[in-house]
Structure 1
Amino acid sequence: MKSSVRQAAIYAVFLLLAASLLYSGARFGAQLEKEAEEIYDMRTFWAFQTLFPIAAGMLFAVPELILDFWREGRWRINWLKLLIFGLPLAYVTGGSLQFLTGANLLPFSDFFTGGFGTLQSLMMSTICATAFGYILLSCVRKQPG
Protein backbone atom coordinates (compact mmCIF):
# COMPACT_ATOMS: atom_id res chain seq x y z
CA MET A 1 0.00 0.00 0.00
CA LYS A 2 2.75 2.42 0.95
CA SER A 3 4.61 1.74 -2.31
CA SER A 4 1.55 2.35 -4.48
CA VAL A 5 0.77 5.64 -2.69
CA ARG A 6 4.35 6.80 -3.24
CA GLN A 7 4.15 5.74 -6.88
CA ALA A 8 0.84 7.60 -7.37
CA ALA A 9 2.30 10.73 -5.76
CA ILE A 10 5.35 10.59 -8.02
CA TYR A 11 3.17 10.18 -11.10
CA ALA A 12 0.90 13.09 -10.08
CA VAL A 13 3.80 15.45 -9.39
CA PHE A 14 5.49 14.32 -12.58
CA LEU A 15 2.34 14.98 -14.61
CA LEU A 16 2.13 18.55 -13.38
CA LEU A 17 5.84 19.16 -13.88
CA ALA A 18 5.90 17.56 -17.33
CA ALA A 19 2.85 19.49 -18.51
CA SER A 20 4.42 22.72 -17.30
CA LEU A 21 7.76 22.00 -18.98
CA LEU A 22 6.15 20.93 -22.27
CA TYR A 23 3.96 24.03 -22.31
CA SER A 24 6.95 26.26 -21.57
CA GLY A 25 8.95 24.54 -24.28
CA ALA A 26 6.17 25.01 -26.82
CA ARG A 27 5.92 28.69 -25.96
CA PHE A 28 9.68 29.10 -26.24
CA GLY A 29 9.62 27.34 -29.63
CA ALA A 30 6.93 29.71 -30.85
CA GLN A 31 9.01 32.66 -29.64
CA LEU A 32 12.08 31.30 -31.46
CA GLU A 33 10.05 30.86 -34.64
CA LYS A 34 8.79 34.43 -34.50
CA GLU A 35 12.31 35.74 -33.88
CA ALA A 36 13.69 33.59 -36.70
CA GLU A 37 11.15 35.03 -39.12
CA GLU A 38 12.17 38.56 -38.15
CA ILE A 39 15.91 38.07 -38.54
CA TYR A 40 15.74 35.52 -41.39
CA ASP A 41 17.87 32.95 -39.59
CA MET A 42 16.04 29.68 -38.96
CA ARG A 43 19.02 27.68 -37.63
CA THR A 44 18.27 28.25 -33.93
CA PHE A 45 14.61 27.44 -34.42
CA TRP A 46 15.32 24.23 -36.35
CA ALA A 47 17.89 23.13 -33.79
CA PHE A 48 15.32 23.64 -31.04
CA GLN A 49 12.68 21.79 -33.08
CA THR A 50 15.04 18.81 -33.27
CA LEU A 51 16.52 18.83 -29.76
CA PHE A 52 13.41 19.66 -27.70
CA PRO A 53 11.67 16.34 -28.56
CA ILE A 54 14.75 14.47 -27.30
CA ALA A 55 14.40 16.25 -23.95
CA ALA A 56 10.65 15.54 -23.96
CA GLY A 57 11.31 11.85 -24.60
CA MET A 58 13.77 11.76 -21.73
CA LEU A 59 11.16 13.44 -19.57
CA PHE A 60 8.73 10.56 -20.22
CA ALA A 61 11.26 8.06 -18.82
CA VAL A 62 11.91 10.00 -15.60
CA PRO A 63 9.14 8.48 -13.39
CA GLU A 64 10.48 4.93 -13.72
CA LEU A 65 14.01 6.18 -13.16
CA ILE A 66 12.90 7.91 -9.95
CA LEU A 67 11.15 4.76 -8.75
CA ASP A 68 14.35 2.80 -9.43
CA PHE A 69 16.18 4.91 -6.85
CA TRP A 70 14.18 3.21 -4.07
CA ARG A 71 14.66 -0.31 -5.42
CA GLU A 72 17.44 -2.58 -4.27
CA GLY A 73 20.02 -3.69 -6.80
CA ARG A 74 22.74 -2.48 -9.12
CA TRP A 75 22.45 0.04 -11.89
CA ARG A 76 22.79 -1.49 -15.33
CA ILE A 77 22.63 -0.24 -18.88
CA ASN A 78 20.74 -2.31 -21.43
CA TRP A 79 23.28 -1.98 -24.24
CA LEU A 80 21.37 -4.26 -26.59
CA LYS A 81 18.25 -2.08 -26.40
CA LEU A 82 20.37 1.04 -26.76
CA LEU A 83 22.13 -0.27 -29.87
CA ILE A 84 19.15 -1.88 -31.60
CA PHE A 85 16.64 0.91 -30.95
CA GLY A 86 18.73 3.92 -29.99
CA LEU A 87 21.30 3.89 -32.78
CA PRO A 88 18.82 3.98 -35.70
CA LEU A 89 16.70 6.59 -33.92
CA ALA A 90 19.80 8.70 -33.29
CA TYR A 91 20.72 8.36 -36.98
CA VAL A 92 17.34 9.62 -38.18
CA THR A 93 17.34 12.40 -35.58
CA GLY A 94 20.87 13.40 -36.56
CA GLY A 95 19.77 13.69 -40.16
CA SER A 96 17.60 16.60 -39.13
CA LEU A 97 20.54 18.37 -37.48
CA GLN A 98 23.06 18.02 -40.29
CA PHE A 99 21.72 21.10 -42.08
CA LEU A 100 23.47 23.17 -39.38
CA THR A 101 26.83 22.05 -40.71
CA GLY A 102 25.97 22.67 -44.35
CA ALA A 103 27.27 19.22 -45.28
CA ASN A 104 25.65 15.87 -45.87
CA LEU A 105 27.43 13.96 -43.11
CA LEU A 106 24.91 11.13 -42.78
CA PRO A 107 24.30 9.18 -45.99
CA PHE A 108 20.68 8.27 -46.83
CA SER A 109 19.28 10.57 -44.14
CA ASP A 110 16.95 12.24 -46.66
CA PHE A 111 15.51 8.82 -47.44
CA PHE A 112 14.33 8.39 -43.83
CA THR A 113 13.13 11.91 -43.17
CA GLY A 114 11.46 12.60 -46.51
CA GLY A 115 13.76 15.50 -47.33
CA PHE A 116 14.52 18.57 -45.25
CA GLY A 117 11.85 21.22 -44.93
CA THR A 118 8.78 19.09 -45.51
CA LEU A 119 6.01 18.38 -43.03
CA GLN A 120 6.85 14.69 -43.29
CA SER A 121 10.42 15.46 -42.29
CA LEU A 122 9.37 17.45 -39.22
CA MET A 123 6.92 14.78 -38.08
CA MET A 124 9.36 11.92 -38.65
CA SER A 125 12.14 13.82 -36.90
CA THR A 126 9.92 14.69 -33.94
CA ILE A 127 8.73 11.10 -33.50
CA CYS A 128 12.24 9.66 -33.78
CA ALA A 129 13.77 12.29 -31.50
CA THR A 130 11.12 11.69 -28.82
CA ALA A 131 11.60 7.93 -29.02
CA PHE A 132 15.39 8.38 -28.91
CA GLY A 133 15.18 10.51 -25.77
CA TYR A 134 12.97 7.92 -24.09
CA ILE A 135 15.29 5.06 -25.08
CA LEU A 136 18.32 6.92 -23.69
CA LEU A 137 16.92 7.02 -20.15
CA SER A 138 14.88 3.83 -20.21
CA CYS A 139 18.03 1.80 -20.88
CA VAL A 140 19.35 2.70 -17.44
CA ARG A 141 17.67 0.56 -14.79
CA LYS A 142 18.34 -0.96 -11.39
CA GLN A 143 18.31 -4.74 -11.50
CA PRO A 144 18.21 -7.04 -8.47
CA GLY A 145 21.37 -8.85 -7.67
Structure 2
Amino acid sequence: MKRFFYYFAWSIAIALIVYLGLQLQELLKERMQTTFNLVPYWVYVTLFPIVIGILLRTPKFMLERKEKRISGFDWSKFLAVGLLSFVVIVLSIMPFLPLENLPYPEFYNQISLILFSSTTAQTIAGLVFGYTLLDSFKSEERRFQESTSDLFNAVMKFTPKG
Protein backbone atom coordinates (compact mmCIF):
# COMPACT_ATOMS: atom_id res chain seq x y z
CA MET A 1 0.00 0.00 0.00
CA LYS A 2 2.91 2.30 0.75
CA ARG A 3 4.23 1.78 -2.78
CA PHE A 4 0.81 2.64 -4.23
CA PHE A 5 0.71 5.96 -2.40
CA TYR A 6 4.29 6.69 -3.44
CA TYR A 7 3.47 6.29 -7.14
CA PHE A 8 0.10 8.00 -6.73
CA ALA A 9 1.73 11.07 -5.15
CA TRP A 10 4.29 11.20 -7.95
CA SER A 11 1.50 10.93 -10.54
CA ILE A 12 -0.36 13.84 -8.98
CA ALA A 13 2.85 15.90 -8.81
CA ILE A 14 3.70 15.17 -12.44
CA ALA A 15 0.14 15.99 -13.55
CA LEU A 16 0.30 19.29 -11.67
CA ILE A 17 3.65 20.17 -13.23
CA VAL A 18 2.35 19.28 -16.70
CA TYR A 19 -0.74 21.43 -16.12
CA LEU A 20 1.31 24.42 -14.95
CA GLY A 21 3.78 23.88 -17.78
CA LEU A 22 1.01 23.92 -20.37
CA GLN A 23 -0.37 27.10 -18.82
CA LEU A 24 3.06 28.70 -19.14
CA GLN A 25 3.32 27.47 -22.72
CA GLU A 26 0.04 29.14 -23.61
CA LEU A 27 1.25 32.36 -21.98
CA LEU A 28 4.46 32.23 -24.01
CA LYS A 29 2.47 31.52 -27.17
CA GLU A 30 0.30 34.59 -26.59
CA ARG A 31 3.39 36.70 -25.93
CA MET A 32 5.01 35.31 -29.09
CA GLN A 33 1.99 36.35 -31.13
CA THR A 34 2.06 39.89 -29.79
CA THR A 35 5.82 40.53 -29.77
CA PHE A 36 6.77 38.34 -32.77
CA ASN A 37 9.68 36.96 -30.74
CA LEU A 38 9.75 33.20 -31.36
CA VAL A 39 12.79 32.34 -29.25
CA PRO A 40 11.27 31.98 -25.74
CA TYR A 41 8.38 29.89 -27.03
CA TRP A 42 10.48 27.49 -29.12
CA VAL A 43 13.12 27.08 -26.44
CA TYR A 44 10.40 26.30 -23.89
CA VAL A 45 8.60 23.89 -26.23
CA THR A 46 11.90 22.13 -26.79
CA LEU A 47 13.13 21.97 -23.19
CA PHE A 48 9.92 21.38 -21.21
CA PRO A 49 9.45 17.78 -22.48
CA ILE A 50 12.96 16.97 -21.21
CA VAL A 51 11.79 17.94 -17.72
CA ILE A 52 8.69 15.77 -18.12
CA GLY A 53 10.79 12.83 -19.33
CA ILE A 54 13.03 13.18 -16.28
CA LEU A 55 9.99 13.38 -14.00
CA LEU A 56 8.50 10.23 -15.52
CA ARG A 57 11.62 8.22 -14.62
CA THR A 58 12.27 9.92 -11.26
CA PRO A 59 10.07 7.70 -9.01
CA LYS A 60 11.84 4.49 -10.01
CA PHE A 61 15.21 6.22 -10.01
CA MET A 62 14.63 7.44 -6.45
CA LEU A 63 13.69 3.93 -5.30
CA GLU A 64 16.78 2.46 -6.94
CA ARG A 65 18.96 5.13 -5.38
CA LYS A 66 17.37 4.67 -1.95
CA GLU A 67 18.01 0.93 -2.15
CA LYS A 68 21.59 1.67 -3.31
CA ARG A 69 21.15 -0.37 -6.48
CA ILE A 70 22.72 2.14 -8.86
CA SER A 71 26.11 0.88 -9.89
CA GLY A 72 27.21 2.99 -12.84
CA PHE A 73 26.13 4.57 -16.09
CA ASP A 74 25.11 2.71 -19.25
CA TRP A 75 26.91 4.74 -21.88
CA SER A 76 25.83 2.52 -24.75
CA LYS A 77 22.13 3.10 -24.00
CA PHE A 78 22.69 6.81 -23.47
CA LEU A 79 24.66 7.25 -26.70
CA ALA A 80 22.38 5.05 -28.81
CA VAL A 81 19.07 6.50 -27.63
CA GLY A 82 19.79 9.72 -25.75
CA LEU A 83 22.25 11.19 -28.21
CA LEU A 84 19.90 10.74 -31.17
CA SER A 85 17.06 12.46 -29.36
CA PHE A 86 19.46 15.20 -28.22
CA VAL A 87 20.40 15.82 -31.87
CA VAL A 88 16.73 16.40 -32.73
CA ILE A 89 16.49 18.85 -29.80
CA VAL A 90 19.60 20.75 -30.88
CA LEU A 91 18.48 20.87 -34.51
CA SER A 92 15.14 22.33 -33.47
CA ILE A 93 16.69 25.22 -31.52
CA MET A 94 19.72 25.71 -33.76
CA PRO A 95 18.18 28.57 -35.79
CA PHE A 96 17.61 30.52 -32.58
CA LEU A 97 21.16 30.21 -31.28
CA PRO A 98 23.33 33.32 -31.67
CA LEU A 99 25.79 31.56 -33.94
CA GLU A 100 26.34 33.83 -36.90
CA ASN A 101 27.90 32.57 -40.10
CA LEU A 102 27.35 28.99 -39.01
CA PRO A 103 26.93 26.76 -42.04
CA TYR A 104 23.91 24.53 -41.56
CA PRO A 105 24.21 20.90 -42.62
CA GLU A 106 22.84 20.12 -46.07
CA PHE A 107 20.11 17.86 -44.72
CA TYR A 108 18.88 20.55 -42.32
CA ASN A 109 16.79 22.34 -44.95
CA GLN A 110 14.92 19.12 -45.66
CA ILE A 111 14.13 18.28 -42.04
CA SER A 112 13.52 21.82 -40.79
CA LEU A 113 10.03 21.78 -42.28
CA ILE A 114 9.27 18.60 -40.33
CA LEU A 115 10.76 19.97 -37.11
CA PHE A 116 8.98 23.32 -37.22
CA SER A 117 5.61 22.37 -38.70
CA SER A 118 4.48 21.30 -35.22
CA THR A 119 5.94 20.62 -31.79
CA THR A 120 5.56 16.84 -32.02
CA ALA A 121 9.19 16.09 -32.87
CA GLN A 122 10.48 18.26 -30.01
CA THR A 123 8.03 16.73 -27.56
CA ILE A 124 8.89 13.14 -28.41
CA ALA A 125 12.64 13.80 -28.52
CA GLY A 126 12.52 15.68 -25.22
CA LEU A 127 10.56 12.96 -23.46
CA VAL A 128 12.89 10.27 -24.77
CA PHE A 129 16.01 12.23 -23.84
CA GLY A 130 14.83 13.07 -20.33
CA TYR A 131 13.70 9.54 -19.60
CA THR A 132 16.85 7.99 -21.08
CA LEU A 133 19.05 10.34 -19.08
CA LEU A 134 17.87 8.82 -15.79
CA ASP A 135 17.28 5.35 -17.19
CA SER A 136 20.92 5.09 -18.25
CA PHE A 137 22.02 4.79 -14.65
CA LYS A 138 22.65 1.07 -14.22
CA SER A 139 20.79 -0.79 -11.56
CA GLU A 140 21.86 -4.14 -10.20
CA GLU A 141 19.02 -5.97 -11.92
CA ARG A 142 21.28 -7.78 -14.33
CA ARG A 143 19.82 -11.27 -13.98
CA PHE A 144 18.96 -11.55 -17.67
CA GLN A 145 22.38 -10.33 -18.78
CA GLU A 146 24.10 -12.62 -16.30
CA SER A 147 22.05 -15.62 -17.39
CA THR A 148 22.73 -14.96 -21.07
CA SER A 149 26.45 -14.53 -20.42
CA ASP A 150 26.41 -17.79 -18.39
CA LEU A 151 24.67 -19.47 -21.33
CA PHE A 152 27.28 -18.05 -23.70
CA ASN A 153 30.10 -19.27 -21.49
CA ALA A 154 28.56 -22.74 -21.27
CA VAL A 155 28.17 -22.93 -25.05
CA MET A 156 31.75 -21.74 -25.56
CA LYS A 157 33.02 -24.41 -23.15
CA PHE A 158 31.59 -27.19 -25.31
CA THR A 159 32.43 -25.61 -28.66
CA PRO A 160 35.32 -27.39 -30.38
CA LYS A 161 38.37 -25.22 -30.66
CA GLY A 162 39.76 -24.96 -34.21
TM-score tier by shorter-chain length is 0.7 to 0.9
SS in 2 for 1:41: coil
Corresponding residue for 1:123?
120
| 1:99 alignment partner AA | P
Once the 2 structures are TM-superposed, how far is the Cα of residue 115 of structure 1 from its aligned partner? 4.0
Q: How does the TM-score come out when normalised to structure 2?
A: 0.76
In structure 2, runs of 5+ residues without a counterpart are 142-162
Residues 90, 129 of structure 1: 8 Å contact kept: yes
Percentage identity across paired residues of the two chains: 22
Match of 2:39 among 43, 57, 61: 43
Match of 1:143 among 100, 123, 140: 140
Distance between the aligned counterparts of 2:104 and 2:87, measured in 1? Answer: 8
Corresponding residue for 1:133?
130
Residues 82, 136 of structure 1: 8 Å contact kept: yes
Q: How does the TM-score come out when normalised to structure 1?
A: 0.84
Alignment size in residue pairs: 139
Pair member with larger Rg: 2
In structure 1, runs of 5+ residues without a counterpart are none
Distance between the aligned counterparts of 2:109 and 2:66, measured in 1? Answer: 44
CA RMSD of the aligned region, Å?
A: 2.2
- Once the two structures are superposed, what CA deviation does each residue of 1:16-52 show, in whole Å capped at 9, x if it has no partner? 1000000000000000111111111111011101000
